[in-house]
Amino acid sequence: MNDLAGKHIVLGLSGGIACYKSAELCRGLSKAGATVQVVMTEAARQFITPVTLQALSNRPVYGSRDVSGFDAREPNGMPHINLSREADAILIAPCSADFMVKLAQGAADDLLSLMCLARPIQSVPLLLAPAMNREMWAHPATQRNMAQLAADGAILLGVGNGFQACGETGDGRMLEPAELLEDLIAFFQPKSLAGQRVLVTAGPTFEAMDPIRGITNHSSGKMGFAIARAAREAGAEVTLVAGPVSLPTPRGVCRVDVRSARDMLEAVVASADSATVFVATAAVADWRPATPSDQKIKKDGSGQPPVLHFTENPDILHTVAQGERARSGRLFCVGFAAESHDLVNHAQAKRERKGVPLLVGNIGPLAFGQDDNEMLLVDAQGVHPLPRAPKLQLARQLIAEIARRTRATA
């Protein structure tokens, strides 16, 4: 997906070992559809060459020792003006502790700091990806500088935790390129759910027969995880209750891992009281073994399978939709129906049975495990198809629809 198509990003590199990650970040920005203009400090050039960044961005790399920032390659000799005016955003990655001092104090002794100072604050956002040793990160001076930068309108993207090049472990690592790319994409998405608290369920449930075996389904969780990401991109505070899947947690999303349908119900009920939107994407098992065995069920040589008795699992969506918050209009509920055939009739019947204003239907075998999907929005007025597309694209369309409907009922 060309999530950054039409965007022009100035990627600034200050000095730090994390510069090696900036090459992958530059490539990721380009693959997402952005044009990338790299500007490097002299310290950054000690860690990675301009040739590498030029090859990846397909543009000349800027970086001057001249305090004035003037460059003969520019018709007016003023790259600090021209580069900042062309940008949709300036991203400094890595942003060293030293460079944060420059930004906080308004120093301008190289092209990158001069360009940041000269940028139009109201139209060109400045995003910072700090990178430094854990002690430098925790130092009061660094924390003061970050507070000042935030007060001045810069956007701090946070840091990672882990092993550092110095041999120590802790906070201060630059976020990974994929994380920074996800943050930048989210930054440009409309904030249609700002102030909302969204609760999403995703993936299958696993209902144990014995300590070894169980009953589940083919749901990969990709659609629910995409919806959680899209809701966070739209400015919501998101809680994701996930069945047993191995997907990475979307940036900025609070994840609660569960296993069975009853586990999922407990987690959902605990979060539903503070939610304003509930999207029940999970493919919850309708049935579970009534009495799971404490030990592995063994073959007895008779050739006859064991007799299993089943009991119905709790209906999570119906439970939440019939709760006081949903009935009072303070919680907007969206259901999902994964069917194998006759989608329209089954989806319409399920929406009425569950008592929700909006239900999303899809054909399960064509959706489970796939990176794309096609969906049917079902409400009291009829059905509205969403053609096959990447799941994240469909998730953003669904979130926009939820935002429109919640605004209309507010």
Note the pLDDT tens digit of each residue in 264-293: 999 999 999 999 999 999 999 999 999 999
Asked if residue 20 is part of any domain, the answer here is: yes
pTM of the model: 0.90
How far apart CA 18 and CA 175 sit, in angstroms, is: 9
**Statement to judge: residues 263 and 181 lie in one domain:** no
Burial 41-67 (b: 16+ CB within 10 A, else e): bebbbebbebebbeebbeeebbbbeee
pLDDT for res 90: 98
Q: Where are the beta strands (DSSP E) in 234-347?
A: 237-242, 254-257, 277-280, 287-289, 310-312, 332-339
Active site residue 166: yes
- Integer CA distances (angstroms), 78 to 85, 118, 214, 320, 349, in order: 11, 11, 67, 60, 65
pLDDT in tens, 238-251: 999 999 999 999 99
Instruction: Please say if the pLDDT value at position 410 is more than 60.
Output: no
By DSSP bridging, strand 382-390 and strand 372-379 are antiparallel
Question: Is 171 found in the same domain as 214?
Answer: no
Q: Same domain for 265 and 388?
A: yes
User: What pLDDT, on a 0 to 100 scale, did the predictor assign at position 13?
Assistant: 98
For residue 47, give Cα distances in angstroms to 181, 267, 335. 21, 47, 51
Same domain, 165 and 224: no
CATH number of the domain residue 404 falls in: 3.40.50.10300
Q: Are 116 and 239 contained in the same domain?
A: no
Are residues 145 and 206 located together in one domain of the fold? no
**122 and 168 belong to one structural domain:** yes
Q: Is residue 201 part of a domain?
A: yes
Question: Residue 70 — pLDDT band, cuts 50, 70, 90?
Answer: low
* Contact in structure between 405 and 357 (CB atoms under 8 Å): yes
119 and 253 fall within a common domain: no
Which of 49-58, 267-276, 299-308, 387-396 has the lowest average pLDDT?
299-308
Look at residue 298 and tell me if it is in a domain. Answer: yes
Of 188, 219, 248, the position where a domain reaches its end is 188
Where a domain ends, among 188, 217, 239?
188
Residues 345 and 226 in one domain: yes
Q: Mark whether 122 and 226 lie in a shared domain.
A: no
Query: Is 3 inside a domain boundary?
Result: no
Range with the lowest mean pLDDT among 50-64, 122-136, 361-375? 361-375
Average pLDDT over residues 30-57: 96
Confidence category of residue 371, pLDDT binned at 50, 70, 90: confident
For all residues of the chain together, what is the average pLDDT? 92
Do residues 229 and 179 share a domain? no
Selection from 106, 111, 102 nearest residue 78 by Cα: 111
Confidence category of residue 71, pLDDT binned at 50, 70, 90: low
In a domain, 103, yes or no: yes
Give residue 302's pLDDT.
85
Q: If you average pLDDT over residues 372-384, what whole number do you get?
A: 89
Question: What is the DSSP annotation of 82-141?
Answer: HHHHH-SEEEEEEE-HHHHHHHHHT--SSHHHHHHHHS-TTTS-EEEEE---HHHHHSHH
pLDDT at 394: 95
- Of the three residues 165, 188, 211, the one that is the final residue of a domain is 188
Q: How many residues does the chain have?
A: 410
pLDDT, residue 338, reads 76
Q: Residue 169 sits in a domain of what CATH number? A: 3.40.50.1950
Is 293 part of any domain? Answer: yes
Q: Structurally, how many domains does the chain consist of? A: 2
Which of the following is catalytic: 26, 166, 254, 333?
166
Q: Is the pLDDT of residue 306 over 90?
A: no
Q: What pLDDT was estimated at residue 407?
A: 86
Among 331, 330, 322, which residue's Cα sits nearest to residue 199? 331
Q: For position 301, what pLDDT does the model report?
A: 82
Are 289 and 164 in the same domain?
A: no
Count, in order, helices (H) and strands (E) of the chain: 15, 19
Give the residue-averaged pLDDT of 181-197: 96
User: Residue 1: inside a domain, yes or no?
Assistant: no
- Domain extent at residue 296: 197-409
Q: Tell me the β-bridge partners of 74.
A: none
Residue 25 lies in a domain: yes
